[in-house]
A and B are shown apart, each in its own frame.
Chain A
Amino acid sequence: MLIKTSRIVYLLLIIFAASIFIPKYYWMKFEKNIRSPLVYFSPVKNDFLIRSKDPNQVTYVDKAGIKYGRTEFETLMPLLNYRQLTLEGRLPDSLNGVPLILEKIRLNNITLKIYPSEVDYVPIQLFPMFESKSGRVQLEMPNDYFRITKRLEFIDCATNSIGEKKTELFTSYLASKNFSFPAKIISGNPTSKKAFDEGYFVVDSKDNLFHIKMVKGKPFCVNANVPANLEIASMKIMEMPLREFYGMIVTKRNEVYLISYDHYKLIKLPLEGYDHTKHVLTFMGDLFYRTISLVGKNSIHTFVTNRAYKVVDRYTETWNDNDKLTAGVVASYFFPFTLSLSDDTSSVSSFYFKFSGSKAFIGSIILSVIVFFILQKRKIGLSKGWFDLLLVLLTGIFGFLAVSLVKNVDKNLE
Chain B
Amino acid sequence: MYSALIYKEWLKIRWAFFGMTLLSLLAVTYIALNLAYYTEFMTAKGFWGNVILLGFPFYTEMKYLPVLTGIVIAVVQFAPETNASRLKLTLHLPVKENKLLLQMTSFGFMLLAALFIMLTMLLWIAIGKYFPAEVVAFVLNIWFPWALAGIAGYFLTTAIIVEPVWARRLIMIPFVLGFVDLFFDIGNESAELNLFLIIFSLLTATLVLFSGYHFKRGIK
In the assembled complex, the Cα of A357 lies from the Cα of B207 at a distance in Å of 33
Q: Which of chain A's residues have a CB closer than 8 A to the CB of B44?
A: 143, 157-158
Please tell me the size bucket of the interface on B: 35 or more
CB-based contact B175/A17 at 8 Å:
yes
Known interface pairs A124-B135, A351-B193; A3-B210 also in contact (CB < 8 Å): yes
Which listed segment binds A: B10-18, B67-75, B80-88, B179-187? B179-187
Query: In the complex where A2-B98, A3-B98, A143-B45 touch, is A126 in contact with B207 (Cβ < 8 A)?
Result: no
Chain B nearest CB from A404 CB (Å) reads 10
Whether B207 contacts A6 by the Cβ 8 Å rule is: yes
Size band of the A side of the interface? 35 or more
Contact A413 B193 (CB under 8 A): no
Does the CB pair A141–B46 fall under 8 Å?
yes
Q: How far is the CB of A41 from chain B (nearest CB, A)?
A: 35
Tell me the bound Cα distance from A157 to B49 in angstroms.
Answer: 9
> Is residue A128 within 8 Å, beta carbon to beta carbon, of the partner chain?
yes
CB distance from B179 to the nearest CB of A (A): 5
Instruction: Flag whether A258 is at the interface (Cβ < 8 A).
Output: no
Contact, CB under 8 Å: A13 / B185 = no
> Which B residues lie within 8 Å of A414 (CB)?
213
> B204 touching A13 by the CB < 8 A rule?
yes
**Contact of A124 with B207 at beta-carbon distance under 8 Å, contacts A20-B178, A141-B49, A145-B48 already known:** no
Query: Is A51 close to B, CB under 8 A?
Result: no
Q: Fill in one digit per residue for B39-72: 1 if any A CB lies within 8 Å of its CB, else 0.
A: 1000011111100110000000000000000000
Q: Is the CB of A409 within 8 A of B213?
A: yes
Known: A17-B178, A348-B189, A349-B187. A10 touches B210 (CB 8 A): yes
- The reply to whether B190 and A145 contact each other, CB–CB distance below 8 Å, is no
Bound-complex Cα distance A274 to B162 (A): 55
The answer to whether A20 touches B182 (Cβ under 8 A) is yes
A87 at the interface (CB under 8 A from B): no
List of A residues within 8 angstroms of B98 by Cβ? 2-3
**Most B Cβ at <10 Å: residue of A7, A341, A409:** A341
Which residue of B134, B176, B187 has the most chain A CB atoms within 10 A of its CB atom? B134
Chain A residue with Cβ nearest B180: A17
* Given A349-B187, A349-B188, CB of A124 within 8 Å of CB of B52: yes
The answer to whether B192 touches A10, judged by C-beta atoms less than 8 angstroms apart, is: no
Min Cβ gap B158→A in Å is 12
Complex formed: what's the CA distance from A18 to B129 in Å? Answer: 43
Give complex CA distance A342, B213 in Å. 36
A191-B53 in contact (CB<8A): yes
| Minimum C-beta distance from B52 to chain A (A) | 5
Nearest-neighbour CB distance to chain A for B151, whole angstroms, equals 14
Q: In the complex where A126-B52, A157-B45 touch, is A351 in contact with B213 (Cβ < 8 A)?
A: no
- Whether a CB of chain A sits under 8 angstroms from the CB of B1 is no
Residues of B within 8 A of A176 (CB): none
Contact A157 B178 (CB under 8 A): no
Q: Judging by beta carbons under 8 Å apart, are B188 and A347 in contact?
A: yes
Given contacts A13-B175, A351-B192, contact A341 B186 (CB under 8 A): yes
Chain B, residue nearest A21 (CB): B178
Nearest chain B CB to A301's CB is how many angstroms away? 29
Interface check A56, CB cutoff 8 A:
no
Contact B132 A155 (CB under 8 A): yes
Is B209 close to A, CB under 8 A? Answer: yes
CA distance A125 to B47 in the complex (A): 16
A142 to B130, CA, bound (A): 17
Quick one: given A16-B179, A126-B135, A349-B187, are A9 and B203 in contact (CB under 8 Å)?
yes
User: Chain A nearest CB: distance from B58 CB in Å?
Assistant: 14
Cα-based distance from A141 to B50 in the complex (angstroms): 12
B193 touches A349 (CB 8 A): yes
Residues of A within 8 A of B208 (CB): 6
Residue of B nearest to A347 (CB): B188
Interface residues of A in 1-41 (CB under 8 A from B): 2-3, 5-7, 9-10, 12-14, 16-18, 20-21
A167 CB, min distance to chain B CBs, angstroms: 13
Most buried by A among B49, B130, B185, B186: B49
- B216: interface (CB < 8 Å): yes
Asked whether, in the complex, the Cβ of A341 is within 8 Å of the Cβ of B134, the reply is: no
* Chain B residues whose CB sits within 8 angstroms of the CB of A145 once the complex forms: 48, 52, 132
- Once A155-B132, A341-B182 are accepted as A-B contacts, the answer to whether A413 and B204 lie under 8 Å apart by CB is no
CA gap between A355 and B146 in the complex, in Å: 29
- Cβ distance A331 to chain B, nearest Cβ, rounded Å: 19
| 29 residue pairs from A and B, CB less than 8 Å apart | A2-B209, A5-B203, A6-B207, A9-B206, A13-B200, A13-B207, A17-B182, A124-B135, A124-B138, A126-B48, A126-B135, A141-B49, A145-B52, A145-B132, A147-B134, A190-B53, A191-B53, A341-B182, A341-B193, A342-B186, A348-B189, A349-B186, A349-B190, A351-B190, A351-B192, A351-B193, A405-B171, A409-B213, A413-B213
Residues of A within 8 A of B (CB): 2-3, 5-7, 9-10, 12-14, 16-18, 20-21, 123-126, 128, 141-145, 147, 155, 157-158, 160, 190-191, 341-342, 347-351, 405-406, 409-410, 413-414
Q: Known pairs A124-B134, A126-B132, A142-B45; list 20 more (Cβ under 8 Å).
A: A3-B213, A5-B206, A17-B175, A17-B182, A20-B182, A21-B178, A123-B52, A124-B52, A125-B134, A126-B134, A157-B45, A158-B39, A158-B45, A348-B190, A349-B185, A349-B186, A349-B188, A349-B190, A350-B193, A413-B216
